[in-house]
Amino acid sequence: MSEPATRKAERASAVSESNEAVLAVRNLKKYFPIKTGVLSRVTGYVRAVDDVSFGIYPGETFALVGESGCGKSTTGQVLLRLLLATAGSVHFRGEDVFAATGERMRRLRKQMQIVFQDPYSALNPRMTVGAAIREILQVHNIARGEEAFEKAQEVLVRCGLDAQHVGRYPHEFSGGQRQRVVIARALALEPSFIVADEPISALDVSIQSQIINLLEDLQDEFGLTYLFISHDLSVVKHIGDRVGVMYLGKLVEIGGKREFYHEPLHPYSQALLSAVPVSDPLIKKKRIILAGDVPSPANPPPGCSFHPRCPYAMNVCMALVPQLKPTESGRYAACHLVHPPDADAVREASNRDAHY
Ligand code: SF4
Q: Is residue 319 part of a domain?
A: no
Q: Which residues contact 190 (CB under 8 A, 6 or more apart)?
A: 110, 142, 222
Q: Is residue 208 part of a domain?
A: yes
The CATH number of the domain holding residue 94 is 3.40.50.300
Q: What is the DSSP string of 222-280?
A: HT-EEEEEES-HHHHHHH-SEEEEEETTEEEEEEEHHHHHHS--SHHHHHHHHTS--S-
**CA 136 / ligand 1 centre spacing (Å):** 47
**CA 217 / ligand 1 centre spacing (Å):** 39
Which residue's CA is minimally distant from atom 6 of ligand 1?
A: 335
Our mutation pick for probing the ligand 1 site, out of 246, 288, 304, counting the most ligand atoms within 8 A of Cβ, is 304
Residue 2 is predicted with a pLDDT of 44
**CA 313 / ligand 1 centre spacing (Å):** 5
Q: Is residue 310 part of a domain?
A: no
| The dihedral formed by the CA atoms of 145, 217, 244 and 21, expressed in degrees to the nearest 10 | -70
Residue scoring higher pLDDT (326 or 277): 326
Residue 307 Cα: closest atom of ligand 1 = 7
Looking at residues 34-39, what average pLDDT do you find?
91
Residue 17 is predicted with a pLDDT of 47
Pick the range with the lowest mean pLDDT from 44-48, 113-117, 230-234, 342-346.
342-346
Nearest Cα residue to 49 out of 263, 310, 251, 330: 251
Residues with CB under 6 A from ligand 1: 266-267, 304, 306-307, 310, 312-314, 317, 322, 335-337
pLDDT tens digit sequence for 156-178: 999 999 999 999 999 999 999 99
Residue 342 is predicted with a pLDDT of 83
pLDDT tens digit sequence for 180-229: 999 999 999 999 999 999 999 888 888 899 999 999 999 999 999 999 99
Looking at residues 313-317, what average pLDDT do you find?
94
**CA 272 / ligand 1 centre spacing (Å):** 15
Structural domain boundaries, residue 195: 3-126+169-304
Residue 275 is predicted with a pLDDT of 86
pLDDT tens digit sequence for 285-300: 788 888 888 899 999 9
**CA 61 / ligand 1 centre spacing (Å):** 28
Count of domains observed in the chain: 1
What percent of the chain is modeled with pLDDT above 70? Answer: 93
Q: Is residue 287 part of a domain?
A: yes
Residue 356 is predicted with a pLDDT of 40
The mean pLDDT value of the chain amounts to 90
Looking at residues 94-112, what average pLDDT do you find?
95
Q: Is residue 349 part of a domain?
A: no
Highest mean pLDDT among 37-51, 268-282, 285-299: 37-51
Residue scoring higher pLDDT (207 or 76): 76
**CA 329 / ligand 1 centre spacing (Å):** 20
Looking at residues 305-322, what average pLDDT do you find?
94
Pick the range with the lowest mean pLDDT from 17-26, 33-42, 196-205, 225-234.
17-26
Cα dist from 349 to 103, 244, 282, 311, 321, whole Å: 48, 27, 47, 22, 9
Q: Is residue 315 part of a domain?
A: no
Which residue's CA is minimally distant from atom 7 of ligand 1?
A: 307
Which residue's CA is minimally distant from atom 5 of ligand 1?
A: 335
Residue 172 is predicted with a pLDDT of 96
Indicate whether this model's pTM tops 0.85. Answer: yes
What percent of the chain is modeled with pLDDT above 90? Answer: 79
Longest dimension (CA), the chain: 72
Q: Which residues contact 86 (CB under 8 A, 6 or more apart)?
A: 29, 30, 31
Give the residues across from 115 on adjacent strands: 196
Pick the range with the lowest mean pLDDT from 10-19, 142-151, 263-272.
10-19
Q: Is residue 112 part of a domain?
A: yes
Q: Is residue 314 part of a domain?
A: no
Looking at residues 248-258, what average pLDDT do you find?
96
pLDDT above 80 (res 135) = yes
pLDDT above 90 (res 284) = no
pLDDT above 50 (res 335) = yes
Q: Write down the H helix ranges in the chain.
A: 5-17, 72-79, 102-111, 129-139, 145-158, 175-187, 205-222, 233-239, 257-262, 267-274, 315-319, 343-355
